[in-house]
Amino acid sequence: MSGSKPDILWSPHHADRYVICDSELSLYRIGAVGTSEAKAGALPLSQETAATLLAINSDTPYMKCVAWYPKHEPECLLAVGQANGRVVLTSLGQSHNSKCKELVGKEFVPKHARQCNTLAWNPVDSNWLAAGLDKHRADFSVLIWDISSKYSPEAVPAEKLRLSGDADSGMVVTKPLYELGQNDACLSLCWLPRDHQKLLLAGMHRNLAIFDLRNTSQKTFVNTKAIQGVTVDPYFPDRVASFFEGQVAIWDLRRFEKPVFTLTEQPKPLTKVAWCPTRMGLLATLTRDSNVIRLYDMQHAPTPIGDETEPTIIERGVQPCSESVISSFAWHPSTQNRMVVVSPNRAMCDFTVFERISLAWSSTTSLMWACGRHLYECTEESGEGGAAEKDIATKMRERAQSRYGHDTVQLWRNHLLAGGNDPHLRSLWYTLESLMQQYTEDLEQRQQGNKQSLIYAGIKNIVKSSSGTTETRRCWKGSDRPTDVAQYHSEERSLALQLCGWISRGPEIDVEPFLRSLEQEGEWERAASVALFNLDIRRAIQILNKGASAEKGDLNLNVVAMALSGYTDEKSSLWREMCSSLRLQLKKPYLCVMFAFLTSEPGSYDAVLYESRVAVRDRVAFACMFLNDNQLPRYIDKLTNDMKEAGNLEGVLLTGLTKDGVDLMESYVDRTGDVQTASFCMLRGSTAEVVKDPRVQCWIENYRNLLDAWRFWHKRAEFDIHRSKLDPSSKPLAQVFVSCNFCGKSISFSCSAMPHQGRGFSQYGVSGSPTKSKVTSCPGCRKPLPRCALCLMNMGTPVSSCPGKSDEKVDLPRDKKLAQFNNWFTWCHNCRHGGHAGHMLSWFRDHSECPVSACTCKCMQLDTTGKLQPSDYV
Amino acid sequence: MFVARSIAADHKDLIHDVSYDFHGRRMATCSSDQSVKVWDKSDDGEWHCTASWKTHSGSVWRVTWAHPEFGQVLASCSFDRTAAVWEEIVGESNDKQRGLSHWIKRTTLVDSRTSVTDVKFAPKHMGLVLATCSADGVVRIYEAPDVMNLSQWSLQHEISCKLSCSCISWNPSSSRAHPPMIAVGSDDNNVTYSGKVQIYEYNENTRKYTKAETLMTVTDPVHDIAFAPNLGRSFHVLAIATKDVRIFKLIPLRRESTTSSGPTKFEVQVMAQFDSHNSQVWRVSWNITSTLLASSGDDGCVRLWKANYMDNWKCTGILRGDGSPVNGSSVQGAALGAVGSGGAQTQNSVVGAASAGRKKAQLMPG
């Protein structure tokens, strides 16, 4: 410790007090922020704690080192080593204490004045204070003083007394108890906790030496450069750390010949090395002018005795006060891993070193982490703020629970099931809805011998096969002025328009119903632009007016309407010039494309076609109306590729559920991880090429795996049912067969293999549920089936347990469902005892062992997974 | 928004690893106190320790669950140079211990001559396969040929990585297009050996694991590594905990000829790199959809990372190691550290780190 740089010292017994020493000693008390203890002048040390200055002591100038008296009484007694080698006892704010009084002010003066480097109280015999001094010729460098010694021999020169400024000669002690380390300097020393008579010294002559005070002539020593800051591991009394320059050496006193190991060298010289008193094997080091405290975790440091394992030392670095340089630090004596850090300008900071945190996510998006010996679980809470978007895992879970994807009749409703707030999903399911409608209608036509279906293939393939396009130049509606805008028509193009939702089925191109529905939804700009693209300026203006006058309407729409009404097709008009430049400032994309359309040259509509804020379906419909047979496929191809690259679900309209669609969905999944949507969407692709695509199969498997991990087993089962309806090849085979003990034939054989020939049983059945028959014997050999272990009746499981087809759609009440299940034939696969499912369930409700006498099988506990409840269970 | 609460773990020493089972209803922890604890979640959401037993004669570094279709099986690895496989058996013991499950050691894997630093079960479609790595730089892959007999494990592969290994991660992809793949991280301190992450791929023809990729840009010690759940994506994502958090994207290049027997070539991109932990990063973990990444580091904080639609990764949450929120976030009901050690924190470091995080968390050109 040098005079300028502050050092820090915790009180050994008061967990809330510490001393900062630089040119003076300042005693601080640390307390929680906001408590009555913390006064107004308290210095904040961290978010929770603040320090209050209790006392300042500036009686002892030229301080070189300080040591706090280790015993409870007298408290707050400190030994200060000075630059002239004197050791002074002093105190902070404890003057009333009588016991302290006779000690405070006591001085211990060496024969020759030189710097005092280090001080250490003996931990057991607390009267003993060891002081390490610089070298002075052949004098001793380590003096052990007894603070209780009273006598002051006359030998003390009067001059020295004057220097100390203390008139009371009884307070000056010049005769040490022991003198060690002749002809050497002492840089650091410490008492050994195993034997309080032993002292470890680090001398200038590059050695570490252990002295025994009972026989001071003998010493064990080792030559080393690492002679600064010797300190004993409080958890491992044989382990000592010492340092030199940037290197720390760890010693084992049982084998003192060489360091057990050295830590990686730091580029700058070290200033402090300290073992953590509250955590085993943690050494903190500080280098000069650094803001990082390096920690070495030696949980499994090698011992010199025993095997030669690689040391597992974990090196860590902490920055207690971010960027500012640290002057010194001190571990808190009792609170685990806590330290106070002081910077050169005496700014202090209370800091706890966290242990290395290990963490794991559960399948249900809760995070568990372990810090030290404690566990913390952290779950995603749907906070009322809800500003942050939910993670896709949470979204998929919620969607699975709301039966997302299962509405097979009204496909568009699935986006509502998904929450109704995702524009991509909305677009996707509306697209699929219209694709499906077209598909079913086409299917009917095909049965009437029409040409092959194209519809699930999407607009890209539809327009490719376009033929017989007619070009027309229509007039603006309501005026006879001819336009030079060419419009194109063909059967395929109208089909595409239908898919885009602009027109409904039929030979005529009538957008009026579509406009009305847009008006109803308040999409004024979009409706106006669709009207305009159908060359009906009046209708567009009317829509805009309506929009302006509607509730919460935008009055600016009237201004736009005014601007529209001024339309002129003259090439060099002011209107055209202003519109084409000012339209770029319009924020609403649909208004923007309206003016783009009006001001662009016929046949070049890039400003409309490549306005990415406009919905894909509108742009495609526009293209189908105004692009010729050369331009259209090129545009559609380019748009399709853009959509594929971006994974934009709007593009499904173009690709349909084809290989292109799988490519598009692949980049959507790559981007979002939403395998749920991908699975449900691609299952609708009827062609084997799509469903059997390995990527699609992979998404489906991943989605099923997710449902399983969430224990949404019912949802998974429902998904499988849904899947097998759309993809019959995915139906799993029967899993279990029960064979007769006597003849070895399957007892369900006769019925499952020849369902229509089960006369023998169905004759008992009531019509409508033909299989409700009683079978108590093997259908093959007519030997009786085993008995239920509880009711001792022969098992009479109906051979086919599926209820009548008419029941399928009806949601059975719970007890009715169970009533059928009660008859099931169940058995334990381990002990092979069994019976009626209902009987078994009720038995195991309050028993753990098998109901069969002398069978100790814990049938119900065998499978841990079986104990888990499905989390979608209602 | 994430809210944390503390659970009384009752380990006698530092906990080194936590691991959830497939369903997230069971959890295992391991500690320097040489024990493993198994926790079950009750219906009210509370965790109850249902088993605790001494597993090794040294610190237990990692613990991991097998897929439940192989039974209730755990693997642990330790400083005592071994890895072990444990199976839960139904209590044949007396009624006193009802409610406590019984775990028995099925095998001890003693091939390593140094501390076994990580253990991981392979994805279930590969069967019951276990990989370990050790400080002497060897990755060992074991297989239980008979899933009914967990005491028989055969050492199938030994991969020498030349560098001391600290962590491994299996590529979880179940797609047939992706051969089995394992990434290995090294905590070797020497910066002159660059490429602290190596990726090995199984070759169907030679029936051996061969090196497919070395991430040469990772030069600092690697403490943890995690492949993201693939979820049907066409590429692989790998998170690495080194002196910063790094996220790599490995895009398999489509092979020109199907007959080529060499390992898959990858296009490697850095998706993100964050140094907001200020110092070493210790752990990384992906959520089930690999859309959230959690990391822990020497700033004593757990950070959550999330990518937006543009693949732009951002920090979406910071929690201190004792569960308390970093100031500024008004999280209610956050469980503060239940014990004294959690009493004091440093505003400065955490806040400083947080702001640095915001500044530095940006997309890397990739």
Q: Would you place residue B18 in the very low, low, confident or very high pLDDT band (cuts 50, 70, 90)?
A: very high
Q: Which residues contact B251 (CB under 8 A, 6 or more apart)?
A: B234, B235, B236, B266, B267, B268, B269
Contacts of A352 in chain B (CB under 8 A): 300, 341-346
Closest CA to B17 of A843, A194, A356: A356
Contacts of B346 in chain A (CB under 8 A): 46-47, 320-321, 349-352
The least confident of A264-268, A297-301, B155-159 is: A297-301
Structure tokens at A383: 């906070």
Pair A88, A80: CB distance under 8 Å: yes
Question: Total structural domains in chain B?
Answer: 1
Cβ distance of A312 and B115 shorter than 8 Å? yes
Chosen from A261, A310, A374, A645 to mutate, greatest number of chain B CBs within 10 A? A374
Chosen from B6, B11, B14, B114 to mutate, greatest number of chain A CBs within 10 A? B14
CA–CA separation, A737 and A839 (whole Å): 22
Cβ distance of B15 and A264 shorter than 8 Å? no
Pair A85, A138: CB distance under 8 Å: no
For residue A595, what pLDDT is reported?
86
Query: Helix axis angle, A616-626 relative to A631-646, nearest 10°?
Result: 170
- Give the 3-state secondary structure of residue A290: strand
| Tens-place pLDDT, residues A185-232 | 888 889 998 888 888 888 767 888 888 888 877 788 888 888 888 999
Which residues in chain B (236-275) have CB-CB distances under 8 A to chain A? none
Cβ distance of A374 and B13 shorter than 8 Å? no
The least confident of A245-249, A511-515, A774-778 is: A774-778
Is the Cβ of B29 closer than 8 Å to some Cβ of chain A? yes
Could you tell me the residue ranges of all domains in chain A? 822-861
For residue A120, what pLDDT is reported?
92
CA–CA separation, A364 and A161 (whole Å): 78
User: How much is the mean pLDDT over chain B?
Assistant: 82
Burial of A448 (0-12, 13-18, 19+ CB in 10 A): exposed
Give the number of other CB atoms < 10 A from CB of residue A599. 18
Cβ distance of A383 and B174 shorter than 8 Å? no
For residue B82, what pLDDT is reported?
94
Mean pLDDT across A800-808: 40
Distance from CA of A315 to the nearest CA of B (A): 9
Pair A531, A595: CB distance under 8 Å: no
Q: Which residues contact B68 (CB under 8 A, 6 or more apart)?
A: A864, A865, B21, B22, B23
Closest CA to A468 of A631, A624, A629, A633: A629
Contacts of A861 in chain B (CB under 8 A): 90-91
For residue A198, what pLDDT is reported?
87
Q: How many CB pairs under 8 A join A and B?
A: 310
Distance from CA of B26 to the nearest CA of A (A): 9
Distance from CA of B297 to the nearest CA of A (A): 7
Chosen from B103, B348, B355, B360 to mutate, greatest number of chain A CBs within 10 A? B348
A233 pLDDT higher than 80: yes
Contacts of A862 in chain B (CB under 8 A): 90
A806 pLDDT higher than 80: no
A159 pLDDT higher than 80: no
Half-sphere exposure of A42 (CA within 13 A, CB side): 22
Contacts of B176 in chain A (CB under 8 A): 694
Measured at the alpha carbon of residue B199, what is the angle toward residues B198 and B202, in degrees to the nearest 5? 140
B9, B231, B342 member nearest A702 (Cβ): B231
What values do phi and psi take at A419, rounded to 5?
A: 115, -20
Give the number of other CB atoms < 10 A from CB of residue B258. 5
Cβ distance of A375 and B7 shorter than 8 Å? yes
User: How much is the mean pLDDT over chain A?
Assistant: 79
Mean pLDDT across B235-239: 94
The CA-atom distances, in angstroms, between A98 and each of A25, A59, A68 are 21, 19, 18
| Tens-place pLDDT, residues B76-90 | 999 999 999 999 987
Domain membership of residue B43 as a residue range:
5-365
B232, B297, B346 member nearest A702 (Cβ): B232
Instruction: State the CATH number of the domain containing residue B11.
Output: 2.130.10.10
Distance from CA of A384 to the nearest CA of B (A): 10
DSSP 8-class letter at A448: T
A349, A699, A858 member nearest B90 (Cβ): A858
| Tens-place pLDDT, residues A618-677 | 999 999 888 888 888 889 999 999 999 988 998 988 888 888 889 999 999 998 889 999
Is the Cβ of B336 closer than 8 Å to some Cβ of chain A? no
CA–CA separation, B321 and B345 (whole Å): 10
What percent of chain A lies above the pLDDT cut of 70?
83
Closest Cα in chain B to A352: B345
The structure's pTM equals 0.83
| Tens-place pLDDT, residues B145-164 | 998 899 999 999 999 998 99
Contacts of A380 in chain B (CB under 8 A): 1-2
Q: Would you place residue A803 in the very low, low, confident or very high pLDDT band (cuts 50, 70, 90)?
A: very low
